[in-house]
Amino acid sequence: YSGKTGNQLLGEHIRKLSVRDRKSIPVVCREDTSVYDAICTMFLEDVGTLFVLKENGILVGVVSRKDLLKSSMGNQDLQSIPVGVVMTRMPNIITCHPEESLLSAASKLIGNQVDALPVVKEETDGLEVVGRITKTTITKAFVELGEGASV
Ligand code: ADP
């Protein structure tokens, strides 16, 4: 018997959860995608954040629901505003790596007050997006831990 408390065991269990095993598929658009089309993509794909990529798949920005709401106020033509002018841009994007712990990613979500992190791999010309971690990812893991599933 290890003599560890239930909490210590739970903590060890939590720290073993990884971004690689938990990430979901990223939903992406281009910088020249219109605000209108970005809103459609959010509804169709049922996500709250889009990752904005260059032609070569390299991360250039992130656009959230509030970014799109803000740009939709007033009588602007949403078809003519590109996402590139309303998104948060590199290098100000908080990211995580596949090898990182889910706990570390969760801490970044809370610490930076954002809903989603792109999972990235370093390439010569920038960061390639390979996945997505959101508050839902963390909530799912939490529920599974609470229900005693082997996560
Ligand atoms: P919402 O706007 O729907 O509440 P967020 O709280 O995630 O969603 O976004 C708040 C702001 O932070 C937005 O301006 C968005 O562009 C930006 N943002 C979202 N995710 C990230 C991220 N991973 N790194 C940096 N900025 C982000």
Q: What is the pLDDT of residues 40-99, one digit of tens each?
A: 999 999 999 999 999 999 999 999 999 999 999 987 899 999 999 999 999 999 999 999
Give me the pLDDT at residue 1, please.
Answer: 63
Domain presence at residue 97 = yes
Note the ipTM here: 0.97
Residue 89, strand partner residues: 61
CA pair distance 133, 94, nearest whole angstrom: 11
Record the tokens describing residue 103, joined without a space.
């706990």
Residues 2-25: tens digit of each pLDDT: 688 888 888 898 999 999 999 999
pLDDT in tens, 88-141: 999 999 999 999 999 999 999 999 999 999 999 999 999 999 999 999 999 999
Q: What is the CATH number of the domain that holds 23?
A: 3.10.580.10
What span, in angstroms and rounded, lies between the C-alpha atoms of 129 and 96?
A: 10
* pLDDT for the residue 10: 87
Contact 64 CB / ligand 1 (< 6 Å): yes
Q: Is 117 in the pocket of ligand 1 (CB under 6 A)?
A: yes
- 34 located within any domain: yes
Residue identifier of the C-alpha nearest atom 18 of ligand 1: 114
Task: Give the β-pairing of 49-53 and 28-30.
Answer: parallel
User: Does 10 map to a domain?
Assistant: no
- Probe target for ligand 1 pocket from 97, 104, 114, 132, with the most ligand atoms within 8 Å of CB: 114
Domain interval for residue 114:
16-146
Query: Hunting for tokens 């570390």 — which residue is that?
Result: 104
The answer to whether residue 38 sits within a structural domain is yes
Q: Is 150 exposed, middle or buried (0-12, 13-18, 19+ CB in 10 A)?
A: exposed
Gap between the Cα atoms of 32 and 82, Å rounded: 5
Q: Is 93 in the pocket of ligand 1 (CB under 6 A)?
A: yes
- The answer to whether residue 121 sits within a structural domain is yes
Does residue 11 lie in a domain region? no
Asked whether residue 3 is assigned to any structural domain, the reply reads no
Is the beta carbon of 47 within 6 A of some atom in ligand 1? Answer: no
Residue 151 falls inside a structural domain: no
pLDDT band at 149 (very low <50, low <70, confident <90, very high): low
Give me the number of domains the chain comprises: 1
